[in-house]
Amino acid sequence: MNDPVPVPWALRPLVRVPPHVLDALIALALAAAVQLHLLLGDRDGEPSINAVTGLLLTAPLAWRRRAPLAVALAFATVAPLGEILGGGLFGGGPPPFAVLLAGALAFFSLGGYAEGRGAWIGAGLGIAGLWSTVLASGDVDVQSFGFSAGMIVASPWLAGRMTRVRNLRAAALGRELEQRERVAVGEERARIARELHDVVAHSVGAMVVQAQGARRMLDRDPQRAREALVAIEDTGRGALDEMRRSLGVLRRQGADAPLAPQPGMNSLSKLIEQARRGGLAVELVTEGDARPLPTGVDLSAYRIVQEALTNSRKHAGRVRAQVTVRYGPDELELEIADDGRPAPGEAPELSAGHGLVGMRERVALYGGDLRAGRGRDGRFVVHASLPLASATKAAP
């Protein structure tokens, strides 16, 4: 995912404040600003009525997210009522800036948090309330009324509405991506389980053949029969190990798949050749001494390389790629890198697509590690490590 937009250090403490607490602090600050303006400035009207009106215009902002329509209606009602009772916040000059800011925030919240019909009703009543305020103040100026209505009601309300639409779209997109992720994970786990089922079935078949040979040689050649029994024991341990993994990842019942030999790292050269015929210039580098791998690890390593090359062709096009296989004493490392660039508008970290879901599932199955992303040289690199120490003991 893309890194979040850095928050300025001065605003970082506000990010951790709960929304309702932040709203209460905003309401308190605006109320204090209005009262300070009344103490320092010269306003027409009864001072006590102005003080109460200023408090009632700002205090409801503490509930602007939970009750946006009520907060907007409170502003549209208190403003003209204060003028009618003899106040002067809106007459004899521009209202205090904190009052204007409180009104703009109230109607921004109305557009951003209120449901469809309530938002429209609140906006209409807000304009009507401002018109009533102008009439009650005795300073009837159509031009100033239009400016006030636009600054306090219309513009903030439209901004809030646009913010709401954007947030709803982002939420819907997030739910859709989350659903796709769950589907992809479920499908990949079912596929892994079917493949491991085939691995276990082949191991059991080999055990049956070895047991038949041991039974025939038991009287004629006890030593060879003993070797066959040892092979049966090793094969059985490997089959049990793969069966445990298969049962651990299987999440839903699937149709019985026909048994077929599964590919492994010995089929990697054929896979590379197929990728080259598909237009991907692939170079294969092997480090360390190649050796037989546990069946499940062998299959998972092949599938990881296969998926990474498929993603390179799908997202990067006809580019150069390099597959590096490192055989270590305790782990198998795979590194698949291509020099393609992400498509316009595509996040570099996501340019490998949903194939990363399958890779992560396979690597996690064996307790390994997977990293994917752009390197300093600009190439997209998939690096996977699969532990071998514990798996080798149980391998047939």
- What are the domain boundaries of the chain? 12-140, 187-249, 265-394
Same fold, 187-249 and 265-394: no
Task: Provide the CATH topology of domain 265-394.
Answer: Heat Shock Protein 90 (3.30.565)
Q: In this predicted structure, what is the pLDDT of residue 351?
A: 40
Q: With residue 393 as reference, give the H or E element that holds it.
A: helix 389-394
Q: In this predicted structure, what is the pLDDT of residue 139?
A: 62
Q: What length is written for the chain?
A: 396
- Phi-psi label, residue 279: left if phi above 0, alpha if psi -120 to 50, beta otherwise: left
Low pLDDT (below 70) residues in the chain: 1-15, 42, 92, 139-148, 196-203, 205-206, 209, 238-262, 278, 315-318, 341-355, 389-396
pTM of the model: 0.51
Share of the chain above pLDDT 90, in %: 27
Across 258-291, b (16+ Cβ under 10 Å) vs e yields: eeeebbbbeebeebbeebeeeebebebeeeeeee
Q: In this predicted structure, what is the pLDDT of residue 240?
A: 67
- How many CB atoms lie under 10 A from the CB of residue 335? 19
Between strands 281-287 and 380-387, the pairing is unpaired
Q: In this predicted structure, what is the pLDDT of residue 259?
A: 44
pLDDT in tens, 344-359: 544 444 444 446 777 8
Q: In this predicted structure, what is the pLDDT of residue 395?
A: 40
Q: In this predicted structure, what is the pLDDT of residue 256?
A: 44
Instruction: Give the side-chain half-sphere CA count within 13 A for 69.
Output: 11
Q: In this predicted structure, what is the pLDDT of residue 341?
A: 66
pLDDT in tens, 157-193: 999 999 999 988 988 888 888 888 777 777 777 777 7
Amino acid (one-letter) located at 205: G
Q: In this predicted structure, what is the pLDDT of residue 396?
A: 37
Query: Does residue 202 contact residue 177 with C-beta atoms inside 8 Å?
Result: no
Q: In this predicted structure, what is the pLDDT of residue 146?
A: 60
**What CATH architecture applies to the domain 187-249?**
Up-down Bundle (1.20)
Q: Supply the DSSP string of 273-334, one letter for each residue.
A: HHHHHTT-EEEEEEES------HHHHHHHHHHHHHHHHHIIIII-S-EEEEEEEE-SSEEEE
Q: In this predicted structure, what is the pLDDT of residue 315?
A: 66
336 DSSP β-pair partners: 323, 382
Nearest of 94, 88, 84, 109 to residue 19 by alpha carbon: 109
